[in-house]
Chains A and B, each alone.
Chain A
């Protein structure tokens, strides 16, 4: 069975702080993909990134960066110099068998 754990239920930071959201996964598949989604207060999930299990290179996109470590089954997400607009629920997800398994999400609040 697949499982995604986001241990941080809520995180609160002050604007311009860096923040890391943790994601740990379990799977028996040798080929899989990991995802991050953002859910702003409007409710719609916004796709942020997809990484495959064979590519452990870190990825950076603007203020966002992702650290994938297969040895610890983790796919952590860091926001550098956070902004109020980053306030949202963030979900980590794992692919397998034609569907995604989601973690319970981390509510990030960035205060001015």
Chain B
């Protein structure tokens, strides 16, 4: 089955630790995205990548980093510089273009203690 995998579903970390969230897709999509969702809020874009080895900051990139070494993978690192990292993180992918629908993974709920 084609789709997007995010693991784990729930992640706990101590304050001050970096943590990497994984996102893998087998849809053969060139574009991938990371969003953050907080209670009662919409989705806010963290980073996006239209092609391998290239990525751009979204609206709330501070405290986060990404890499795009493979088409299938777009891991997100939440660094200790992110002041409020506890949130629900969603990864998405799409065929490249300005107006294409994005397909989402199941999400990772990160809790920083």
Contact = CB atoms under 8 A, between A and B. Distances in A.
A binds B: yes
A61 B78 CA distance: 40
Contacts of A97: 98
Interface in B84-113: 88, 90, 92, 96-107, 109
Contacts, number: 60
Interface in A44-64: 44-47, 50, 52
A42 B98 contact: no
B107 A98 contact: no
Contact of A98 (B31, B40, B42, B88): B31
Contact of B99 (A43, A52, A102, A103): A52
A103 B100 CA distance: 17
B45 interface: yes
Given A43-B88, A45-B90, A104 B98 contact: no
Contacts of A99: 33, 45, 48, 58
A98 B101 contact: no
Interface of A: 4, 9, 31-33, 35, 37, 42-47, 50, 52, 91, 95-100, 102-105
Interface of B: 31, 33, 40-45, 48, 50, 58, 88, 90, 92, 96-107, 109
